[in-house]
A and B are shown apart, each in its own frame.
Chain A
C-alpha cells in the first residue's frame, strides 16, 4: 500500500503531470539539479536504495552518451578544452550535455515513479469516466487481439491435424492460411454477436448511463490539489515571464546563483517534487516502525 493508492487517481496524475512539465521546461542548472535529486530520492523511497542504485550503470551510460553527443556536435562556447579534427571541443558544450542528460534521466525516473504510483488500470479508470464509449471500445479491441490470436492458433492446429491447412507449395500454403483466416472471421463475428447480446441484455445503449464511483475524492485530495495549484503558479512564472532562461553559450557565471524571484520559483517547483517523497517516505517509515513493533 502506497500513499498514492489512497489518493484519487486524478490527484496523482495531476502531480506527476506538473512535475514532468516542470522538468521538461527547466533550463537552469540549479532547477535541473534539484529536480534530478528529487527524482532519485522518490525512486529510492518507492523501490528502495538498493534497486535504485542498480540503475546507476545504465543511467551513467545514458548520461555519458548524451554528454558525448553534445560535446562532439556543438562547438560553441568560449572555454576551449582541446581540438579534435580541427574542431574546438568546449567546456560549455560538455556542461550543457551533462545537464540535458540529467533532464532526460529525471523525466525517465519520474515516468517510472508515475507508473508505479498509478498502475495501468488506475490510469485507465481516469479516462473511463470522461470518455466511456472510447474506453469501452479500447478495452474490447485490446481484449479481442489476444483472443483472436488464440482462436487462429486453434483453427490452424485443428485443420492442420487433419492435413487441411498444410498444403505443399507456396500457393497452397497461402490458400490454406486464407481459409483459416476466413474461419477466424466468421467465428469472431459469431462471438461478437453473443457479446453484443450480453451487453444489450444488461441495458447497454439506454440513455443516461452512469459510471461507478469507485474512487471517491477525499479531503486529502482536495488539500493536495489546492497545494499543487498554489505551488504551480510561482513555479511556472519564469516560464511565462521569460526570466530565468538559461543560456550555456556563452556561460554567465553570475547567473548561476538565482535571484530572489528565481529562488522562490525553483523552491516552489522542487516542493512539488519533494511532496510525494515526503508522503511516500512517511508511509515507508510507518511500515518499518509498525513491523519493528510486531
Chain B
C-alpha cells in the first residue's frame, strides 16, 4: 500500500496554456527517501508544491493525491501543516523570526500547541539536528548552511511524516551541503520520515536515497533504485548521474553500479590492472609565458569596518587575457569581496589593483570589466528579455541584430518576449551573461554562476565561458562547484585566510589535492592520476580499453 499516491495529476498554471504537470503518477512507500531529478522547468517544484496543500499553486488541477489513504484536499489544514513539512531553496527567504528559538517555535505556535509544551519540542528538534547551541542566536547572524538547518528544524518540530525538500542545498557550500543532507538522512532513517527531495546535487545524494525518479515535461518518466537508474541510464540521462556511476556507465555498465568513491575505486582497480605511475604533472599553461596580466591585484588588504577582521589580507593575483581562473572556497570566505575589489565596486584599504597595466580601474561600461552578481536578477530592470538586452546595446551599429545574435548565442531566442522573472535559474544566468557580453568586456568576473543550474545548463554555461575565453576575454569565477571549476578553468586556487596562494594549473591543483578536489580526481588518484574531470576519465578509460583490445 503506497503511503503517498499521486495518480494522473495534471496541472496548468493560471494564464498558461501548456500544463506544468501532465499526467504525473507516483507512488511512494512509507519511510522511503526519494530523489527527483530533471531539467529545470520540468515540473519538479510544481509537483512538490502540489503535495503540500498550503503551497499548492493556483491553476487548473486534475487527478488525485492521497496521503496515507486520505485525499489531500480532505485533510484539515492543521494536519496538513504539521504532517507535511516543506523546505525550499533559498535559506534567506524562509525565516520570519528574529531568533532561532522563535523561528523553530513559529510553526508550533501557529498550529496551536500548548504553549508550555513548545520549548520542549523546539529543544528536541534543534538538538536532533545539532543546532541546539544556536537557540538564542539571531537568525541574521547565521551562515546560509545554519539557516537552512534552522528551516529544517522548524519543519521537523511539527513532527512531519512527509518531508518535501525543493533543491534545499543548491545555495550551500560543500561542507554545509553534507551537514544538511546527513541531517535529512538521519530524519529519514532514525525517525522513519518519508522524504522527497528534488535537486541537481546527485553527487552527494545517490548513495543516500532509496529510489531516483526522473521527471520530464511534467511527467515522471522512471522511478528506479539508484544502481538500476545508473545501469539503465542512456543518452541525456547520463548527465543526471553523479561522477562515479557516470564514468562506470560510460565505460562498462553491466554489473552492479558503484555509487561511492570507495566502490568506484574498487571497480576501477578491476578495470585498470596495472596502475599508471604517478607522473609529475606539467604546467600546461604557465601564465608568465602568456601576455601581460590584464587585471592584477598587488598586496591588497580589505576590511569592511575599522574594527572588523580582514577579509582580504595581503592578496596578490593576476588575470591574463584568454584564461579562466577559478577562485574556490567555502561561502563567507570572502570570494565575493575579492570580486568586488577587482571590479572596482570596493576600494582596497591598502595595495593596488591594476587594469591593463594602469593603476585604477577603467570607466565602467563597454569594453571594460563586467561583473555578474550571485543573483542575476539584480541586473534586470525591464519587463521583457528583449528590452533587457536593449538596455546595453546603446552605441552599437545594428541594435536589433546584436540582440538577436546575443539571444542565439545564449539560447534565448524563444524567450525574447518573456518576463525576466519568469525565466528559470539557468536562463536568468544566461540572460545576465548575454547582457554582459553585449558590452564586449575584456574581463568577466562571475560570482557563483552555477548555483541552481541543472546539468544541461551547466554544460551550456561551460561552453559559453570557454568560447569567450578563446575570444580573448579574461574570466575569473568564484565558485564552490569543484567539478565545474575543473571542467572550465585553466588555473584554480583556494581562497583561504584572506589570500590566494600561487594560482596553480587546474589539473595540478585538482590532482594534487586529496580532499578538496573533484570526485573524478578522488576516484582516479593513484590509478589513473591524470584525469580530474569525469569526461577526461571516461576518455582515458576508453583509450585504455581500446589499447587492451
Contact = CB atoms under 8 A, between A and B. Distances in A.
Contacts of B365: 162-163
A194 B88 contact: yes
B381 A183 contact: yes
Contacts of A214: 101, 118-119
Contacts of B155: 201-202
Contact of A212 (B55, B95, B122): B122
B345 A200 contact: no
A211 B392 contact: no
Contact of B93 (A159, A195, A202, A208): A195
A131 to B, nearest CB: 14
Contacts of B200: none
A187 B377 contact: yes
B110 A206 contact: yes
A210 interface: yes
A116 interface: no
A166 B115 CA distance: 53
Contacts of B380: 183
Contact of B81 (A190, A202, A208): A202
Contacts, number: 153
Given A161-B343, A161-B371, A164-B392, A139 B112 contact: no
B407 interface: no
B439 interface: yes
Interface string A152-186: 00110111111110100000000000010011001
A203 B97 CA distance: 15
B96 interface: yes
Contacts of A203: 54, 77-78, 81-82, 107, 110-111, 158
B97 A201 contact: no
Given A203-B54, A206-B78, A210-B115, A162 B98 contact: no
B60 to A, nearest CB: 21
Contacts of A160: 345, 364
A290 interface: no
Contacts of B98: 121, 139, 143
B333 interface: no
A166 B344 CA distance: 14
Contacts of A206: 77-78, 81, 110-112
A226 interface: no
Given A162-B435, A163-B363, A198 B93 contact: yes
A205 B381 CA distance: 34
Contacts of B154: 202
Contacts of B114: 210
Contact of A158 (B54, B110, B379, B391): B379
| B interface residue count range (under 10 / 10 to 19 / 20 to 34 / 35 or more) | 35 or more
A289 interface: no
B93 A191 contact: yes
B240 interface: no
B528 to A, nearest CB: 42
Nearest to B383: A186
B234 interface: no
A216 B436 CA distance: 58
B13 to A, nearest CB: 15
Max chain B CB contacts within 10 Å: which of A139, A161, A208, A211?
A161
B108 interface: yes
Given A197-B55, A205-B110, A213 B118 contact: yes
Nearest to B96: A199
Contacts of A205: 110
A140 B140 CA distance: 12
A158 B421 CA distance: 17
B513 to A, nearest CB: 32
Interface residues of A, number: 45
Nearest to A157: B345
Interface string B76-87: 011001100110
A198 B148 CA distance: 12
B364 A201 contact: no
A158 B115 contact: no
A198 B96 CA distance: 8
Contact of A202 (B102, B110, B364, B392): B110
Contacts of B86: 201
Interface in B436-459: 436, 439
B90 A194 contact: yes
Nearest to B151: A198
A212 B97 CA distance: 13
A208 B112 contact: yes
A209 interface: yes
Given A164-B391, A194-B90, A201 B111 contact: no
A154 B112 contact: no
Contacts of A162: 364-365, 370-371, 379, 392, 435-436, 439
Nearest to A200: B54
B283 interface: no
A204 interface: yes
A163 B340 CA distance: 15
A181 to B, nearest CB: 10
Interface string B354-389: 000000000111101111010101111100000000
A183 B380 CA distance: 7
Contacts of B222: none
Interface string A5-25: 000000000000000000000
Interface string B201-228: 0000000000000000000000000000
A136 interface: yes
A140 B378 contact: no
Contacts of B85: 201
Contact of B116 (A136, A158, A164, A213): A213
Contacts of A159: 378-379, 381
17 contacts: A155-B378, A157-B345, A159-B381, A160-B345, A162-B364, A162-B392, A163-B365, A164-B391, A191-B93, A195-B93, A195-B96, A197-B88, A202-B107, A203-B82, A209-B111, A212-B109, A212-B115
4 shortest A-B CB distances, which residue pairs? A163-B365, A203-B81, A202-B107, A198-B94
Given A187-B378, A212-B118, 7 more contacts: A155-B378, A158-B378, A183-B377, A183-B378, A194-B88, A199-B110, A212-B101
Interface of B: 52, 54-55, 77-78, 81-82, 85-86, 88, 90, 92-99, 101-102, 105-116, 118-119, 122, 140, 151, 154-155, 158, 340, 343-345, 363-366, 368-371, 373, 375, 377-381, 391-392, 421, 435-436, 439
Interface of A: 121, 136, 139-140, 143, 146, 154-155, 157-164, 166, 179, 182-183, 186-187, 190-191, 194-195, 197-214, 216
